[in-house]
Chains A and B, each alone.
Chain A
Amino acid sequence: MSDDKTHFGFEQIPVNEKVKRVAGVFHSVADKYDVMNDVMSLGVHRLWKRFTLSQTGLKAGQRVLDLAGGTGDLALRMSRMVGPAGEVVLSDINASMLNRGRERLLDKGIAGNMSYVQANAECLPFPDDYFDCITIAFGLRNVTDKDAALRSMYRVLKPGGRLLVLEFSKPVAPGLAPVYDVYSFKLLPAMGKLIANDADSYRYLAESIRMHPDQQTLKEMMQVAGFDKVSYHNMTGGIVALHKGFKI
């Protein structure tokens, strides 16, 4: 990979185009994002998110940042965990997704301790040592410069705060990999076409999952960014993994 190229799925594209291309994908899937998540993961993404919530250790009154928060699944529940005295910041780089999230949360009556910020994870617009917890669920793989993003998250975390990265990873369960390949390269785009009428976007999702660093690599990236006590937990045979790291 040359210096000014990055991957977009399996394609190589100029670095400055990635943000635009990823934005295109999410603008086009925003409306059907929730339905597709349920269909694609057979509803299991809810369980992955539940486990993520259980690892936040949030208490009433704390401040939490939900990066790439999309349609607000995690933010919804975290708003309840931190209570009226706490604060949840839902952030996404993509205006369409953020708007969907805001509408959805307002419709559910979530307001008061929730704010919305459109931001790029690589250069977060928050002061140093600001959040007790940061979550990023299925978002890191779409970030162009992941190392910069991890450094930026480290900066805005309070000492003692934690980062949780929920992301697709490398299947480790024996025999799962070939099944998973057929599923993500054949079935997934077909379902994308059927439900969202947008096979290309879902092909990108499948490809971007493959280009994402595996469990160990991401763990090392977090350590390089400064995180301590980094650990990960495989779910559904390693199809997704939750990485946890602390700022000490």
Chain B
Amino acid sequence: MSLPQIVIASFETAFNHYIALDPDAMPRLEDMEGKIIAIEITGINETLYLFPGMDGIMVMSDFDGEADTTLSGSPMSLARLSMSKNAMPVLFSGDVKISGDTRLGHQFKKVLAGLNIDWEEQLSRVTGDMIAHQLGNGVRDFTNWFKRSTQSINLDMGEYFQEESQVLPSRAEVDRFISNVDSLRSAVDRLQARIDRLKNNSQQ
């Protein structure tokens, strides 16, 4: 046995509570009923087997059978895959590999990434609509303000370091520098090749 059953059982309960917060997610999971998705977590050498169904996902740490699709990757890259709307960058970078029924893998990933939880609605069950809406407005205002402030701070700081104090180079300068380094590397490679050829010639 790998991870203790109790850890897996608790994880399953928490995970299903989380999924249940989005009422649209369950029907999408039901389409995958009867399929087995293995998640191979490299680094800690654990494999989780997920059995999606109409009332959530059953999780096992150990399964004496074959999975329909296997997603393998490090914990971080798997988390990135499940959070990001677009799987392509993570998949093409080779951080996460899908084997077996790749369509199923994508379908499952889409359900996770598409989880859309209406926190205000969840809150309203406890506090009632009025308070939940007020709090929701508060949170939205705060996040908007926070986003705007960080954006303008970023801009101001960038401008200060690049233009005023000239500690940091501008984007264009960096690009030019990088491309110069690239051509220098190519030139060195060519020179190396030429030296090798001359060496070979002189030895013959």
A55: B residues at CB distance < 8 A: 64
Residue interface mask A59-86, B partner, CB < 8 A = 1: 1110000000000000001001111111
Shortest distance in angstroms between A245's beta carbon and chain B's nearest beta carbon? 13
**From B55, B62, B65, contact of A109 by CB (8 A):** B55
The answer to whether B60 touches A50 (Cβ under 8 A) is yes
Chain A nearest Cβ from B109, distance in angstroms: 20
Question: Which B residue sits closest to A164, measured CB to CB?
Answer: B64
- Binary interface profile of B, 23-43, with partner A (CB < 8 Å = 1, else 0)? 000000000011110000000
**In the bound complex, CA of A47 to CA of B68 (Å):** 25
Question: Is B9 interfacial (CB 8 A cutoff)?
Answer: yes
For A86, give its contact among B5, B34, B53, B58 (CB under 8 Å).
B34
Interface flag for A135 (CB, 8 Å): no
A46 at the A/B interface (Cβ < 8 Å)?
yes
- CB–CB A85/B34 < 8 A: yes
- Beta-carbon contact of A54 and B62 below 8 Å: yes
Whether A160 sits at the interface, judged by CB under 8 Å, is no
Question: Is A108's CB within 8 Å of the partner chain B?
Answer: yes
Q: Does B8 lie at the interface of the complex (its beta carbon under 8 Å from any beta carbon of A)?
A: yes
**A242 to B68 Cα, complex, angstroms:** 26
- CB–CB A56/B34 < 8 A: no
Size bin of chain B's contact surface: 20 to 34
- CB-based contact B34/A80 at 8 Å: yes
| B residues 45-88 in Cβ contact with A at 8 Å | 49, 51, 53-55, 58, 60-66, 68
* Contact among B9, B34, B62, B66 for A84, CB-based, below 8 A: B34
Contacts of A109 in B (CB 8 A): 54-55
- Cα-based distance from A82 to B64 in the complex (angstroms): 14
Cα of A47 to Cα of B64 in the assembled complex, Å? 16
Contact B65 A83 (CB under 8 A): no
**In the complex, A109→B30 CA distance in Å?**
12
**Residue of A at shortest CB range from B57?**
A80
Please tell me if A57 contacts chain B, counting CB pairs below 8 Å.
yes
Which of B8, B34, B58, B63 meets A57, CB within 8 Å? Answer: B63
Q: Is B1 an interface residue (CB 8 A)?
A: yes
Q: List 11 A-B contacts (CB under 8 A).
A: A50-B5, A53-B58, A54-B63, A56-B64, A56-B65, A57-B63, A59-B65, A81-B51, A83-B35, A109-B54, A109-B55
Given A54-B60, A83-B35, A109-B54, 18 extra CB contacts under 8 A: A50-B5, A50-B9, A51-B1, A54-B49, A54-B61, A54-B63, A57-B63, A59-B36, A77-B51, A80-B34, A80-B51, A80-B53, A80-B54, A80-B55, A81-B51, A83-B34, A84-B34, A85-B34
